[in-house]
Each structure stands twice: as structure tokens, then as C-alpha cells.
Amino acid sequence: MELLYKSTRGDKAEITASQAILQGLAGDGGLFVPVRIPRLDISLKELAGMSYQKTAYEVMKLFLTDFTEEELKHCIACAYDEKFDTEAIAPLAKVKGACYLELFHGATIAFKDMALSILPYLMTTAAGKNGVKNEIVILTATSGDTGKAALAGFADVPGTRIIVFYPKDGVSPIQEKQMVTQKGDNTLVVGIRGNFDDAQNGVKELFGDQELKEELLEAGFQFSSANSINIGRLVPQIVYYVYAYAKLLESGELSEGEKLNVVVPTGNFGNILAAYYAKQMGLPVGKLICASNDNKVLYDFFRTGEYDRNRPFILTTSPSMDILISSNLERLLYRIAGGDAEKDVELMSRLGTEGRYEITPEMREKLSDFCGYYATEKETAKQIAEVYEDTGYVMDPHTAVAACAYGKYTAETKDTAKTVIASTASPYKFTRSVMEAIDKEQYGGMTDFELIDELAAISKTEIPNAIREIRTAPVRHKAVCGVNEMKQTVLEFLGVKTGGTYGF
Ligand SMILES: *Cc1c(COP(=O)(O)O)cnc(C)c1O
């Protein structure tokens, strides 16, 4: 049965999955959502023996119904190949009672690879299906990991260009080095004088700029988004929750139908929303535990029903979660409002004007699957150090936020249900924070690259390719601009306007 997509903000048009992937954001500023969530049409027992690729097909075919079997299998095969350093693609690591779903075995050693290695294939396939002749320009704001993962995915993909904006002082040195060394003539990386929300709002404005849109169309370009608002990002993320459940069933750690809790270190709310969709599909998921760092907007939201972004933006050691506006939450709001676009528009415009909104008691009731916990910087560091000392397993700060949230959850609820903690980055991506958490005195004075060698030694793991490469790679991207200069930057890179400001 064909599954169509429509906007959360009331535009009545229903479009195909491939059209939604191409458009990214809906014309009325809303996010595309499927008109219904499909049910898994295969038993978990059957899924238990399947590879990641086969599982991906079984899940994604239900959402991307206008892709043929051949097309979808081709996209999956191109995405989940040797770029990943393990055949399991998303292995489960069992560490002292906890179960970590490691989502960082792809090209850029963070969980964004799970979706961004397939998005370029979904997008070029979608373009072909819809007779698109324009060059597709991927425009992305990143808090660090999305940018590199998108660049790695789209670099030198014919018919595409990719422009990534990141907060100049808001990403880790290794994250920055990974991005500014990106190869590929179709790539551009620009630092923004502002924080992630500034970068994201700037990108949203460019997407909504009609004048710009027409100017680009005339020059043979059209925008699309690789941000987690794209449905082509969300759907591949559902896969690993189904896969994790199936693997635990296969190993006998879960029995059929038994509930599995998930803990997700959350920023833009994409990853945890995928887990929610998996639950709606019929996967026996229990609680969805939303973990935040000191930017605990979501924690407050789940506790009070009020979303309030009016607070200081705090830079933490888990920068990919330093977010005060979690874009994908809009999809959840739309759903718990019973598909009421008017309500969604009201809340989103409140968020725009007052920076806060409150949901109705009826909506709150529908949030009972979720709960929120947060970890301070001190707790996060302590979590990393303790697990390392007890077990030798080294986790990154984002994962540590989740592990800490899980500890608080079990202490508060005494819930003993089997639980999976989404592990969203390799510790090698945040080496300094990790090593200083373990022993600040010993490691505080070392350079980033010395720390990488130390990490390899203490964790008895191999230095991932992604890190080995950047040690020697030359910096290719040096542009920095203000938020109000983003449009000019885009036009110059595409050669639509010359001004010479940035010298592309
Ligand atoms: C992006 C990211 C997150 C947050 O994921 P969302 O889908 O934005 O909630 C958490 N951890 C890491 C390492 C990330 O890169």
C-alpha cells in the first residue's frame, strides 16, 4: 500500500516519499510526516536471523513505498558496506549489565553515518524518479557531527553540491579538523560567527527565501536538506532499533514480545523520534528515555509540559546535544495533537515569538512513553571514568550522558526491564574530553594527537581510519562568515553571484 507524506503545518498536499526526500522541508515551513505509521509486516523471529542490510530493507520498504525493491536494495548495499568497520554495522556491546548499541562504526565515527551514508543514494534515486534536472544543493547546519557525515556522504556524488555551516567556536577541534579537510569539489564548509541555533535558523531562512529559490532555479539549482528534518534521515534510523531488538532476541537475552527500553542522548530529537516510530510500528519498546546535557530543555519539557528556550546556551563536552530548539520535536507534537496542524502552527509560532509554549493536558497524556533525565558536566565525566575503571570500556561524552540518565532512571523507577543505550559517537571523536574525564592531571597537558595514542593504549582499541586520515590531511576550507552573510556565501559558491567577498 502506498504511503504518502504531508506537512505538520496544514498544507493539504500529500506527496510521495521520494518527493518528500527531495524537498526536505515542506513549503509551509512544516516537516513532512507519513500520513500513518506502517506496522512491521514480518515477525521479530524472522528478523532475528537477518543481516543489517536485510533488516534495513524490511523496515525501509514500508516507509519508502515509491522506491522499487531493486532501487532500495541498491541504496542499502551502497550505504552499508566496507565504509563501516564491522559487518554487524551497529553492534551491541555488553558492559556490566548495560547494553550499548554502537552507532559509530561508519565513515565519520558518529551515529549520523547511519542515515547519511544512505541519504545521497536515496536522494539521487529520488531525483531520477521525479525527472529532476537541476543540480541538488544540500544546505546543512551542523553542531559538529552531521556536517562531516553529510560531507562524507555527498562528496563527489554527481548532480549534487553540499554546503555546511557550523558554529565556529561550538564544535570540538577534531570535529572541525574533520570538516575543514573535506575533499570533493562539490563541497563547501563555512564557520558561522554564532552558535548552532544561529546556524540552523540561518539555514531555515535560506530555505524559506522565495527570491533566492527563484534565482537558483534560473541558474539550474535547487535546495535540499540533509538535516535530521529530512524524512530520508529519519527512516534509516528506525532500522537499528528493530535490528537491536532482533539481535537480543536471537541471543536469547529477550524473549518474544518482551519490552525493551531505550535511552537516547538527544539533541535535535531525530534519533529518539526514530525509536518512537519503531514502537509505533509494533516493535515491543517500553520506555523512551530522553537524555539531555546541561541544555536540558527537553528534560524540563517532559517534566512540566512547557517548552522554554529562554535560557543561556551552555557549551558542554557533548556539543552535538547543545541545542535549545529540537526541530524534530515538531513531529511528535503533531502526532500527540492527533494530527492537528492548527495546534502545531500555534505552538511553533509561539516558539518563534516568545521562545516558549505549553502543550495541553490531553497532549501530555500521550507522552507517557517518554521520560526525560539529564546529566551535568561533572556527572558525565564521572560516568566515563567509572565505567572505564570498572570495565575498561571507554565511552564518549554523549553516550555518557545517556548512561548517566539511565542510572538516574533506574534509581528513580526501579524498572529492571532490558535496556539499550544508544551510543552515538566513538570516544576518538571527543578524545580530549574523554581522557580528561579519566585523568585530568595526567592527560591535561597533552596535544590532541598525543591523546589519541593514549586512548588507543588504555582502551586497547584500534585508532579508527577517520582519525588516522585527518592527522595529515591539509585544510581545504577556511571561510568564516556572519549569520547575515550566509546567503551571499551560498550565491558565490554556486557561481550565481560574484562579489569576491569569499573568493570562491
Ligand atoms: C547528533 C548527535 C546526537 C543527537 O541526536 P539527535 O537525533 O539530534 O537527537 C547525539 N550524539 C551525537 C554524537 C550526535 O552526533
pLDDT recorded at residue 470 = 87
Q: DSSP letters of 189-213?
A: EEEESS-HHHHHHHHHHHHH-HHHH
Quick one: which atom of ligand 1 is closest to the CA of 398? 11
Pick 395 or 496 by higher pLDDT. Answer: 395
pLDDT, one tens digit per residue, over 6-25 is: 999 999 999 999 999 998 88
CA 427 to chain centre: 17
175 touches ligand 1 (CB under 6 Å):
no
DSSP one-letter code for 111: T
Q: Which of 492, 494, 503 is nearest to 162 (CA)?
A: 494
One-letter amino acid at 191 equals: G
pLDDT, the chain, mean: 94
| pLDDT of 173 above 90 | no
pLDDT, one tens digit per residue, over 32-44 is: 999 999 999 999 9
Over residues 230-245, mean pLDDT: 97
Report CA(115)–ligand 1 centroid distance (Å).
12
| pLDDT of 144 above 80 | no
pLDDT recorded at residue 313 = 92
Residue that has been written with the C-alpha cell 530543555 in this structure: 297
pLDDT, one tens digit per residue, over 427-439 is: 999 999 999 999 9
| pLDDT of 394 above 70 | yes
With bands split at pLDDT 50, 70 and 90, how would you rate the model's confidence at 500?
low
| pLDDT of 228 above 80 | no
Between CA 446 and CA 424 the distance in angstroms is: 25
Give burial (CB, 10 Å; 0-12/13-18/19+) of 299: buried
Between CA 254 and CA 82 the distance in angstroms is: 29
Q: Nearest C-alpha to atom 1 of ligand 1 is from which residue?
A: 320
For 392-475, where are the alpha helices, taking DSSP H only? 397-413, 431-443, 448-459, 465-470
Report CA(136)–ligand 1 centroid distance (Å).
25
pTM of the model: 0.92
pLDDT recorded at residue 502 = 57
Over residues 418-430, mean pLDDT: 96
Residue 2 CB partners (closer than 8 Å, separation 6+): 16, 65, 66
Active-site residue, from 6, 83, 112, 287? 112
271 touches ligand 1 (CB under 6 Å):
yes
- What does DSSP say about strands 221-225 and 135-141: parallel, antiparallel, or unpaired? parallel
pLDDT, one tens digit per residue, over 315-373 is: 999 998 999 999 999 999 999 999 999 999 999 999 999 999 999 999 999 999 999 99
The pLDDT > 90 percentage for the chain reads 86
Between CA 301 and CA 292 the distance in angstroms is: 11
Between CA 83 and CA 90 the distance in angstroms is: 12
pLDDT recorded at residue 157 = 83
Report CA(265)–ligand 1 centroid distance (Å).
7
Report CA(178)–ligand 1 centroid distance (Å).
17
112 belongs to the catalytic site:
yes
Quick one: which atom of ligand 1 is closest to the CA of 143? 1
Pick 207 or 259 by higher pLDDT. Answer: 259
- What does DSSP say about strands 160-167 and 187-192: parallel, antiparallel, or unpaired? parallel
pLDDT recorded at residue 501 = 58
